[in-house]
Each structure stands twice: as structure tokens, then as C-alpha cells.
Chain A
Amino acid sequence: MIARDLDWKPLALVPLLALLVLPLIGSPSTWLTLTVAGLAMGMIIFIIASGLTLVFGLMDVLNFGHGVFIALGAFVATSVLGAMGDWTGSHELWRNLVAVLPAMVVAMLVAGAVGLAFERFIVRPVYGQHLKQILITMGGMIIGEELIKVIWGPQQIPLPLPEGMRGALLVGDAAIEKYRLVAVAVGLLVFGLLAWTLSRTKVGLLIRAGVQDREMVEALGYRIRRLFVGVFVAGSALAGLGGVMWGLYQQNVVPQMGAQVNVLIFIVIIIGGLGSTGGALIGALLVGLMANYTGFLVPKVALFSNIALMVAVLLWRPQGVYPVANR
């Protein structure tokens, strides 16, 4: 796509929000700390939401059970990292990364495998039936949470950051937590891979086309359901990865964590435009920033602020910042 066709207005929302709150916060160092925290939170939410928005876009499936993959990923990470205490306890960052990397990979594999079964037995029987999709996928999440309790127990489990990722870097007077920088880096990596896949590969092209008009993709000779299963599994795996990131961000995990994050994810994909990954990134960054800014400025409205943000965006663009054509 040529540059003049790019809709830049939604892109400007993120820096605009950050600059608007600067005078309200007052201290530039506090603003920088909050902004990096917001971007890190936004990147983690994006990792989780990117798969869900494609799942909705491709097959019109409302998966309210997406949260179970988040919790599953986080709990798998507690087991993997727990078994690698020598590596997570090291002060050397490379040894920490060697521990975190397999935790992420295993979490993605487990979440992806469970996603495959979830699609086959829970989602597939209710294609095209939104009300049933909402009910059965929520039911699937409840069952998933209970199974997590059976395996790992019902209590909160600590997921401490590896030693090398703890603490903060000082940029002037601003303290930037190291892990937040790691989260931003991982988020950018995932976004880069996703953007490359969607724009430079035939599979990515098919996904983008399928989000716009799945019937036409079938008329061109492609089996959209196979594509959907692949996207569902990849989306589940990404949610598992997001669960690891979120668990480390919170430094503890509970079986209900998926349901807690679910609300934020749906706000993100609605703000972004259902089916739009670029929109999901902008929505996630806005939600992350808004949560951190309001948490600092007016903590009592922190929960409400993201819903207000969604309402404001929808008043501006009723189908989200990047509405998908033909939907």
C-alpha cells in the first residue's frame, strides 16, 4: 500500500494522549515512568488480543473463552520457571532469558494445543450462532479455570521476575523498570512478526482477505475453515505467551486471571475495529496508557476510564479506529 493511503489519524492518538496528560501529571520523570509502564502493559494486551481479533474477523466467532489460554500460559510458566530456579535466580540477564524463553515456548505450545481442542469441540458446533458462542465459550473458560485449579491448586501462585529483570534503570529522574522494557521489546517483536506474516506471505494475505470476505476466499478455491483453525491455534498460543508476560508483570497468577484480562481485551479489539491487528495495537496501547495515567491521577475512575475511552473512540469511529472493509 502506498504511503498516502495510510490513515494516520488513529496513529496520532497514542502520542496525543501521552502529550495531553503531561501537564496534568506535572513531573516529566513521573510521566515517563507511567508512559513506559502503559506502553508495556499495552504491548502485553496486544499480544493477547491480536489472535482474538483475527478469530472474530475471519469467522465471526465471539470467543469469550480466550482468557483461559492466558491463565493456562501463566500457570505453565510457573511450572517451567519453578523447575529452573538456578537460572531465574542468576543475576546474569542471559541466564534469565534462557529460563524465560523455554517457559514462553512451552506455554505457547500448551495453549496452542488446548486451543486446537477448544476450537474442535466447543467453537465448531456453534459457527454462525453468536448467542450460543458467547454462552459455550464462557462455559469453556469456566471449565478451563476449574481444570487449572485441579492441576495447580486454587490459590494464588507467585511468579517472581528473574533476578536480572528486576529493578529499574534511571533515565534522568525517571525510573524505568527493566521488565517493562523487556515487555515492550517482546511486544514489538510479536507485532513485527505478525505484520510481516500478514503483509508479506500468502497465508497472511489469505487471512486479511478472509477477514474482509470469507465467502470470496472460498470461491477462489481456499478452505477458510482450515485457515481459521490455524489462526485460532496461533491466537491461543499468543494468548499463552501473553499470559506468561502478564503473570510476570503482576508477579503472581490466579486461575481467574484470564477472566479479569478478558474485559480489557474486548475493549481493545472493539476500539481497534473487529478483525484489525493494526487497530488492536493502537487500542492496546491506548488502554495501557489510560489505565496507568488514570491509576496515578484519579485512581477511583481507573476501571471506568477504559470504557470511557472506548465510548469516545466509538463516537468518533463507530466501527473502531481501523474498520475492516466489507464487514
Chain B
Amino acid sequence: MSTTHLLELKGVHTHIGAYHILHGVDLAVPKGQLTMLLGRNGAGKTTTLRTIMGLWQASQGQITFAGKDITALHTPQIAGLNIAYVPENMGIFADLTVKENLLLAARKASHAGQMDPARLEWIFKLFPAVEKFWNHPAGKLSGGQKQMVAVARAIVEPRDLLIVDEPSKGLAPAIINNMIEAFDQLKKSGVSILLVEQNIHFAKRLGDTVAVMDNGRVVHAGRMADLAADEALQQSLLGLSL
């Protein structure tokens, strides 16, 4: 494994029931960078993230994280390696308060008072809605506020890798801009991020490296800036222009 790659997938196949979804995915997430995973609907992006997290088992291939083979590990073991995951549906516990949602992710804390106050302050600055609705049931929040809670929960303790599935999905443009600023801050904190996106503006603003998927494979990998500068390539890979 390359020492600069925190996460690496080699020839990963995933079957869901009778369906063969991933057909040999090769993907590398460099340490300390934000990697965008792009592709049309049904290309296999979400399946790739779920396979990394062990929510669906890879039927073939290898996944390594920080040099350790995690292909056969169970989800809690993978999460225990300091990997945080925000699913497409955000995975918010609607009946719990915002505080309780964050407390659950703070594995070292048994009650709210044990959460790192400095880190909470930092999170409140990134996502003011989290502080504002601290004692409210998360299910009562708007879509954008829920997304902020979901990302805040993922970073409530320092993580080595943050995996986020379509954070801009269904959000108003103003909220998307807030989210972009928040991820920009997260990048500066040094955490490695793997981000699935359909919003091209989002991808262009944040991505350091990019992988494009189609039909269950990575069909292009490289620097985001290079893809952004090559309209013909964008057209052929994504059917649109950045």
C-alpha cells in the first residue's frame, strides 16, 4: 500500500442479493485530503461507501485502512478505527435530542458533561443550528439542520476519516454554501474526507482528488482541478460540464 493513501480499495466487488453492484472498484483516499466520489445515479457510489463501512460485505477484493485489511471486519470494528460515516438519509435518531445524538457518537463520554467542551465550541461555530436546537428532538429539525447535526455528530470526536454521502442532497442553495464553508474548515483541520456528491458546484469548490464511477467501477481518478478544467472529459464521464 502507498503510505500516502489512508484508505484503499482494490478490485472490490459487492453483491446485494442476486444483484452484482460493484464490479471491481479501485479507489484511493489520500491522507489529509478531500476526495470526491462522483457519478450518475446508480453508478455504485453509495454501495461503495456502505461496503467500506461493512454495512454490505465485499464479495471479492480488498479494503485497507491505514495499512490494515478491513475487508472482513464488522461495522462497529470499522467505526472503531476512527472512521465516521454520514449516510445518505443522514441517520439521525429522530426521537433523540440533538445533544443525545452527539453524545452517542462521543464514545468516550457517558454523559453530556464528558464531551470535550472546546470541540463542542468549535462545532457550534461551524454549525450554529446545533447549539440553537441542542435540547430539541432532532426529528423536528429542517432537512438542512438535520444534515448539520449529522455532520456534527460525525466529528464530535476527532476522526481519521470522514465518509459522507451526498451532504447537499435536497438542501437550499444558502444552506449548501454554509455546508461548503463547514467542510472547508474541516479540511483545514486535517481530517481525510471521502465525499459522495451530485452537486457539481460543491464538488468543484471542495475536492482535492476525484474518482468518477460508472456501472459499478471507477472509470476515472485524478486531481479535481484537472477534471474541472477539462470540459470534454466532464462531458464524457458525467454528461455535464463543471
Contacts and interface: CB of A to CB of B under 8 A. Distances in A.
Interface stretch (A148-156, A209-217, A290-298): A209-217
A221 B103 contact: no
Q: Which interface class (under 10, 10 to 19, 20 to 34, 35 or more) fits A?
A: 20 to 34
Contacts of A311: none
Contact of B53 (A201, A209, A219): A219
A5 B91 contact: no
Contact of A5 (B53, B107, B137): B137
A197 B237 CA distance: 53
Interface in A219-236: 219-224
B95 A221 contact: no
Contact of A205 (B85, B103, B140): B103
Nearest to A219: B85
Interface string B88-130: 0001011111001001110101110000000000000000000
A326 B95 CA distance: 9
B79 interface: yes
A326 B103 contact: no
A5 B139 CA distance: 11
Q: Which interface class (under 10, 10 to 19, 20 to 34, 35 or more) fits B?
A: 20 to 34
B105 A220 contact: yes
A208 B91 contact: no
Tell me what chain A mostly uses at the interface: helix, strand, loop, or mixed: helix
A221 B136 contact: no
Given A202-B110, A325-B139, A221 B80 contact: yes
A315 interface: no
Contacts of B97: 1
A213 B74 CA distance: 17
A326 B94 CA distance: 7
Contacts of B104: 202, 205-206, 209, 217, 220
Interface of B: 53, 55, 74-76, 79-80, 85, 87, 91, 93-97, 100, 103-105, 107, 109-111, 135-137, 139-140, 153
